Amino acid sequence: MADSTSTIAPVRIVALGGLGEIGLNLLAIESAGSAIVIDCGVMFPEHPEYGEGVLIPDFSWLDRSGARFEGVVLTHAHEDHIGALPHLLSKINVPVYASDVTLAFARRRLAEGPFAGEAKLVPIRPRRPFSLGPFEIEPIRVTHSTPDSLALAIRTPAGLIVHSGDFKIDESPIDGEHFDRERFAELGSEGVTLLLSDSTNVERAGRSASESSLKPVMREIMSRTKRRFFLSAFSSHLHRFRQLTEVALECGRRVVPLGLRMSESVRLGMETGQLSFSPGTFIGATEADFLDPARIACLTSGSQGEPLSALAKLSAGTHPRIQIEPGDVVVLSSRFIPGNERAINNLINRLYRLGAEVFYEAVAPVHVSGHASRDELADLIALVRPKYFVPIHGEFRHLARHLALAIETGIPERNCFLLQDGESLVMDRNEARRGRDVQAGRVMMGEGGEAGDPSVMGERRVLAREGTVTAVLIVSAKTGKLIAGPELISRGLVSGDGTSEHMRRVRRELEMRLNEFDGPLRAGEVALRDEVVSIVRRYFIDELGRRPIIVPHVVEV
């Protein structure tokens, strides 16, 4: 597996994303001049309404490390683990290793850009090790909310590392592929040096419910639905789509994927064998026009209130093919991601106004988490029995509580490390210790896959919070005197039609100061423009505590 020099080389684990937030997952492992990357995800911004695109990890360290990157290994198909892959491969075009389902979704993501090269996508299987440089990597089957999810056992010159990926311990998985307890226990007996473990649900006591527990809930709701049934979930949630389809067939319904991404996900599910149903089970929205609404079950994106999703269009009455009507039932089969609550609640209210009945996690058991709760996290630690422990995948409070849980289970406190993005851990045969910090952060990617201009994004936020004022001045080209105006137009600040007392007062003040301006008023005079901006902005800061964007416009006639 490794040559004589690499067997004595230290190993460095570098966190570039996912440690301190939910999303943006990217971890690098480096040794003997070689490195591998585990996952490469995106994170959605707190204010998507500003048109900010998505956030990807800062890849600067990858360029500067000097390491030879051997490959990218993906644990599963969720966007927070594969969404930034095209951007990464644009910088380091290396082979990508993942399970069949994950590769299918990665292939779709790569086709959407900005990567224009030819990617080498290599399928991997549980319990079948492969080598990358000084690392031998063994995939291990875990259960999660998307099929074909994997943990990784990584044999390195400094010992065995286990990376849990996203997981829960589902005792009755939809596809019959169980969490591989036996292999984790064998690794524990072999001797695990370091466990990196998913922290998402550490605040939840007990165990996460099985994915299969949703099927009877769907059956009960659908059986009493008089018209169309809509299920909204993440587009990679093939397990949930399978259950919905099975229940729909029991109830004599055809399944209609709404939206391009949902249709593509169903196609990928059929290609990978995750949605093995007879021809005619899935139909298009056009075909659904000819069926009784009581014979239709729709799959739709938009459970997080995304403004351009099919469900958002349905709730607004703007969907081109289908209209929500009284008697329809909508099931939001996902948790409310923090920050999305207002958008989701507005969506639900709109659906109710159209006469639909809506089920969501707060009112019915229509969603189960794909992440391990506290008892399952303790189970994995007990199975693996690591010498060292690092919590991953979570906000800071999740990492801190998971660290405390590891100490409760018996791992010495000195052997538990709480890392955040940009921090590293160095291991050799004798010890693990904190390494040097590296550059890490978030990069905004706008439309078309190009880096978003921070100044533009900042202006959008200011416009949303503070508003804007345009000041129009007409000056004489001959005399340099003010002959008309200033006219002030406000948006998002105060009434912009001239009726606001604030607008009248700031206009008078600006006119008075311009009459005292030193020198002629000229359209190209920078000092004049600066003076207009300063006067108007200072007024609104003093009077309203607001800092609007000021746009001066000087016209010579």
- Active-site residue, from 39, 166, 180, 198: 198
Can you say how many angstroms the Cα of residue 361 is from the centroid of all Cα atoms in its chain?
20
Contact (Cβ atoms closer than 8 angstroms) between residue 73 and residue 103: no
Tell me the CA distances in angstroms from 344 to 316, 320, 338, one per residue in order: 13, 22, 11
Residue 337 CB neighbours (<10 A): 15
Cis ω on the peptide bond leading into residue 114 (within 30° of 0)?
yes
- Active-site residue, from 78, 87, 367, 371: 371
> What does the buried/exposed string (b/e) look like for 338-377 if buried means 16 or more CB atoms within 10 Å of the residue's CB?
eebeebbeebbebbeebebbbbbeeeeebbbbbbbbbebb
Give DSSP secondary structure letters for 342-359.
Answer: HHHHHHHHHHHHTT-EEE
DSSP H or E stretch at residue 470: strand 468-475
Catalytic-residue membership of 87: no
Which three-class secondary structure state does DSSP give residue 379?
A: helix
Q: Residues with Cβ < 8 Å from 305, sequence gap 6 or more?
A: 312, 340, 342, 343, 344, 346, 347
Contact (Cβ atoms closer than 8 angstroms) between residue 218 and residue 243: yes
Cis ω on the peptide bond leading into residue 486 (within 30° of 0)?
yes
Q: Are strands 329-332 and 388-392 parallel, antiparallel or unpaired?
A: unpaired
- Residue 260 tokens, joined: 């391009």
- Residue 215 tokens, joined: 């099927």
DSSP H or E stretch at residue 89: helix 85-91
Residues belonging to the chain: 557
Cα separation of 376 and 372, whole Å? 5
DSSP H or E stretch at residue 186: helix 181-190
Q: Residues with Cβ < 8 Å from 267, sequence gap 6 or more?
A: none
Strand order in the sheet with 159-163: 130-132, 135-141, 150-156, 159-163, 194-198, 388-392
- Of the candidates 269, 238, 240, the one whose C-alpha atom is nearest the C-alpha of residue 333 is 240
Quickly tell me which residue has 């703007």 as its tokens: 318
Contact (Cβ atoms closer than 8 angstroms) between residue 125 and residue 152: no
Q: Which amino acid is at 293?
A: P
Quickly tell me which residue has 């590769």 as its tokens: 103
Cα separation of 332 and 301, whole Å? 9
- Angle of CA points 88, 92, 93, to nearest 5°: 100
Cα separation of 258 and 98, whole Å? 28
Q: Which positions are annotated as active-site residues?
A: 198, 371
